């Protein structure tokens, strides 16, 4: 249709002012007279002008774009995290590149490189498994603020926002011990991640404090997914001495464990106690409702975005490590008071 896009000069001509004035109007500068501002604004609307941000931030070095890179959007924890970030990023007038790495470091490298070329003002990264600090070196050196979220990269000189994994599983185990369980398993997750390590440490310490054996017998690895949870139950049922309850690596695994239990004709929350981790949105409405360590992924996403924006807006910002406290939300799956729904605090 349009041969050439309408530019600030076209507006200027049509409004009978100079391009500089139009630019001033565009930026909402107080320098311009009310009358001219109105006139110019009218012309802008009339001609259907669209601002060219590429051109703008070629001149000024600010970009209005933030990058968000997550390792698995299919996992609803990360999806909610992304949604939380999206909210504050949009509201702040930024727009986001959101990319999914699917746990591939290669893809991660590619997308980060691509984002840099497009000139992002900052990056929020939930690193893929196996990410090295060196992978981020050039990015960090360039001075672009980076916020690590969910997963840490120990040694990297960047901000991070992590949940208190250790405290979470600690509380979860204490809860189960309080219910009388003595053989408590840890189910799901890959052993080579920092998150896993922290959660298992909380699990072990809690067992120790309770005077229970804390060997590795009851630690079952699996993919951190629903399917992984199902598989893990099958493995568990082969054991001579079975656990009577489990703290799961995350909610996805916990749901899988519930599925697996039912497939074996056991009722989660009755025959076996299940505690999750994350408190994804379905945890509350599932049947049985999931007892879980609440991380509030959406809130976490918001905080991460806020942290990044803060860093972007203050030059020379020191890296800042935030630890998000968690709390155990007791619902039904851990085994007390089925049908006692009012135990849940937030309606």
- Rounded CA-CA distance 240/180 in Å is 20
DSSP 21-87: HHHHHHTT-TTS-HHHHHHHHHHHHHHT----HHHHHHHSS---EEEEEES-TTSHHHHHHHHHHHH
Q: Buried b / exposed e across 70-108, counting CB within 10 Å, b at 16+?
A: bbbeebbbbbbbbebbbebbeebebebbbbbbeeebebb
Using CB under 7 A as the binding rule, whether residue 116 contacts DNA is answered as: no
Out of 118, 209, 235, 242, the residue judged to bind a second copy by CB under 8 A: 118
Using CB under 8 A as the binding rule, whether residue 116 contacts a second copy is answered as: yes
Out of 111, 128, 173, 329, the residue judged to bind a second copy by CB under 8 A: 111
Which listed range, 19-27, 121-129, 197-205, 272-280, lies at the site for DNA (CB under 7 A)?
19-27
Contact, 283 vs 292, CB < 8 A?
Answer: yes
User: What is the size of the binding site for a second copy (CB under 8 A)?
Assistant: 60
Contact, 95 vs 37, CB < 8 A?
Answer: no
Main-chain dihedrals φ then ψ at residue 343, nearest 5 degrees: -65, -25
Using CB under 8 A as the binding rule, whether residue 114 contacts a second copy is answered as: yes
Out of 60, 134, 339, 342, the residue judged to bind DNA by CB under 7 A: 60
Using CB under 8 A as the binding rule, whether residue 285 contacts a second copy is answered as: yes
Helix, strand, coil share of the chain (percent; to 5): 45, 15, 40
**CA terminus-to-terminus distance, the chain:** 53
Site string for a second copy, 71-100 (x = CB under 8 A): --xx-x--xx-xx--x---x--x-xxxxxx
Using CB under 7 A as the binding rule, whether residue 118 contacts DNA is answered as: no
> Of 76 and 159, which CB lies nearer to a second copy in the complex structure?
76
Using CB under 7 A as the binding rule, whether residue 26 contacts DNA is answered as: yes
Using CB under 8 A as the binding rule, whether residue 226 contacts a second copy is answered as: yes
Using CB under 8 A as the binding rule, whether residue 271 contacts a second copy is answered as: no
- Rounded CA-CA distance 180/169 in Å is 17
Q: How far is the CB of 253 from a second copy (least distance, A)?
A: 12
Site string for a second copy, 122-161 (x = CB under 8 A): ----------------x--xxx------------------
Closest CA to 326 of 168, 217, 132: 168
Using CB under 8 A as the binding rule, whether residue 343 contacts a second copy is answered as: no
- Residue 263 vs residues 155, 259, 292: alpha-carbon distances, Å: 44, 6, 22
Write out the H or E segment, with its range, that includes residue 293.
strand 291-294
The half-sphere exposure of 126 on its side-chain side, counting CA atoms within 13 A, is 28
Name the residues that contact DNA, by CB under 7 A. Answer: 4-5, 7-9, 17-21, 23-24, 26-27, 31-33, 35-36, 51-52, 55-56, 58-60
Name the residues that contact a second copy, by CB under 8 A. Answer: 1-2, 48, 50-55, 57-58, 63-65, 73-74, 76, 79-80, 82-83, 86, 90, 93, 95-100, 102, 107, 110-111, 113-119, 138, 141-143, 226-227, 230, 255-256, 258-260, 262-263, 281-282, 285-287
């Amino acid at each position: 249709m349009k041969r050439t896009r309408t530019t600030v000069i076209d507006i200027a001509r049509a409004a009978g002012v100079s391009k500089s004035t139009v630019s001033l109007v565009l930026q909402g500068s107080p320098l311009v007279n009310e009358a001219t501002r109105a006139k110019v604004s009218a012309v802008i609307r009339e001609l259907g002008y669209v601002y060219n941000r590429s051109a703008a931030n070629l001149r000024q070095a600010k970009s209005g774009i933030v990058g968000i890179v997550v390792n698995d959007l299919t996992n609803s924890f990360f999806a909610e995290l992304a949604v939380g970030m999206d909210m504050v990023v949009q509201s702040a007038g930024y727009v986001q590149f959101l990319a999914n790495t699917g746990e591939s470091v290669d893809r991660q490298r590619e997308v980060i490189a691509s984002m840099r070329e497009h000139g992002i003002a900052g990056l929020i990264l939930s690193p893929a498994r196996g990410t090295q600090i060196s992978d981020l070196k050039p990015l960090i050196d360039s001075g672009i603020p980076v916020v690590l979220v969910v997963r840490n990269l120990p040694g990297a000189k960047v901000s991070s926002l992590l949940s208190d994994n250790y405290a979470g599983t600690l509380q979860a185990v204490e809860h189960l011990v309080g219910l009388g369980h003595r053989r408590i398993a840890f189910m799901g997750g890959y052993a080579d991640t920092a998150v896993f390590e922290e959660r298992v440490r909380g699990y072990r310490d809690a067992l120790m404090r309770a005077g229970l054996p804390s060997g590795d017998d009851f630690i079952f690895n699996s993919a951190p997914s629903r399917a992984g949870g199902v598989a893990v139950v099958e493995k568990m049922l082969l054991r001579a001495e079975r656990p009577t309850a489990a703290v799961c690596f995350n909610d996805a695994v916990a749901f899988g464990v519930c599925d697996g239990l039912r497939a074996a004709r056991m009722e989660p929350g009755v025959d076996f106690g299940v505690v999750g981790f994350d408190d994804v949105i379905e945890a509350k409405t599932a049947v049985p409702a999931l007892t879980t360590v609440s991380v509030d992924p959406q809130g976490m996403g918001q905080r991460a975005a806020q942290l990044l924006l803060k860093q972007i807006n203050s030059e020379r910002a020191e890296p800042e490590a935030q630890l998000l406290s968690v709390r155990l939300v007791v619902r039904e799956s851990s085994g007390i008071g089925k049908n006692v729904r009012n135990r849940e605090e937030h309606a």
